[in-house]
Copies of this chain bind each other. A is one copy, B any other.
Amino acid sequence: MKELAKELSLSVGTVSKALSDSHEISDDTKKKVAETASRLNYTLNPYASSLRNKKSKTIAVVLPEVADNFFSLAINGIQSVAEKKGYHVLIYLSHEKFSNEKSILSECCSGRVDGVLISVSSETTDAQHILKLQQQNVPIVFFDREFEGLHIAKVITNDFECGYASATHLISNGCKNPVFLSISSSLGICNHRASGFKAALKDKKIADPEKAIIECRGTKEEVDWQIKNLLTGKTKPDGIVASVERLAMSVYLVSQQINISIPAELKVIVFSTLETAPILNPPLTTITQPAFEIGKTAAELLFKGIEKKKYNLFDEIITLPSVLIERTSSQPCQFKKK
**Residues of chain A whose beta carbon lies under 8 Å from any beta carbon of chain B:** 41, 43-48, 50-51, 65-67, 69, 71-73, 75-76, 79, 83, 88-93, 95, 100, 103-104, 106-107, 109-112, 132, 135-136, 249, 252-253, 256, 275-276, 278-283
When the two chains form their complex, are residues B47 and A279 in contact, meaning their CB atoms are under 8 A apart?
no
Tell me which of B48, B103, B109, B276 contacts A249 (CB under 8 A): B276
> In the complex, how many angstroms separate the beta carbon of A102 from the nearest chain B beta carbon?
12
5 A-B interface contacts by CB (under 8 A): A47-B111, A88-B104, A88-B107, A252-B276, A252-B279
Measured in the bound complex, the distance between the Cα atoms of B60 and A92 in whole Å is 11
Which residues from chain B contact A103 at a C-beta distance below 8 Å?
Answer: 88
When the two chains form their complex, are residues B45 and A110 in contact, meaning their CB atoms are under 8 A apart?
yes
Tell me which of B47, B67, B73, B281 contacts A50 (CB under 8 A): B47
When the two chains form their complex, are residues A280 and B280 in contact, meaning their CB atoms are under 8 A apart?
yes
Which residues from chain B contact A73 at a C-beta distance below 8 Å?
Answer: 67
When the two chains form their complex, are residues A79 and B67 in contact, meaning their CB atoms are under 8 A apart?
no
Measured in the bound complex, the distance between the Cα atoms of B280 and A281 in whole Å is 5
When the two chains form their complex, are residues B278 and A256 in contact, meaning their CB atoms are under 8 A apart?
yes
Instruction: List 6 other contacts, CB 8 Å, given A41-B135, A90-B90, A253-B279.
Output: A41-B132, A46-B110, A48-B51, A66-B72, A256-B279, A281-B282
Measured in the bound complex, the distance between the Cα atoms of B224 and A275 in whole Å is 13
Tell me which of B65, B72, B249 contacts A67 (CB under 8 A): B72
Which residues from chain B contact A100 at a C-beta distance below 8 Å?
Answer: 83
Which residues from chain B contact A89 at a C-beta distance below 8 Å?
Answer: 92-93
Which residues from chain B contact A93 at a C-beta distance below 8 Å?
Answer: 75, 79, 89, 91
Q: Which residue of B lies closest to A69 (CB)?
A: B67
Measured in the bound complex, the distance between the Cα atoms of B248 and A276 in whole Å is 11
> In the complex, how many angstroms separate the beta carbon of A268 from the nearest chain B beta carbon?
11
Q: Which of A48, A104, A136 has the most CB of B within 10 A?
A: A48
When the two chains form their complex, are residues A111 and B46 in contact, meaning their CB atoms are under 8 A apart?
yes
Which residues from chain B contact A278 at a C-beta distance below 8 Å?
Answer: 253, 256
Given the known interface contacts A90-B92, A104-B88, the answer about A47 and B51 at a Cβ–Cβ threshold of 8 Å is: yes
When the two chains form their complex, are residues A136 and B279 in contact, meaning their CB atoms are under 8 A apart?
no
Which residues from chain B contact A253 at a C-beta distance below 8 Å?
Answer: 278-279
> In the complex, how many angstroms separate the beta carbon of A244 from the nearest chain B beta carbon?
14
> In the complex, how many angstroms separate the beta carbon of A289 from the nearest chain B beta carbon?
15
Which residues from chain B contact A106 at a C-beta distance below 8 Å?
Answer: 43
Q: Which residue of B lies closest to A80 (CB)?
A: B95
Measured in the bound complex, the distance between the Cα atoms of B65 and A106 in whole Å is 26
Measured in the bound complex, the distance between the Cα atoms of B155 and A121 in whole Å is 31
When the two chains form their complex, are residues B112 and A47 in contact, meaning their CB atoms are under 8 A apart?
yes
Which residues from chain B contact A48 at a C-beta distance below 8 Å?
Answer: 47, 51
> In the complex, how many angstroms separate the beta carbon of A185 from the nearest chain B beta carbon?
25
When the two chains form their complex, are residues B110 and A44 in contact, meaning their CB atoms are under 8 A apart?
yes
Which residues from chain B contact A65 at a C-beta distance below 8 Å?
Answer: 72
> In the complex, how many angstroms separate the beta carbon of A113 from the nearest chain B beta carbon?
10
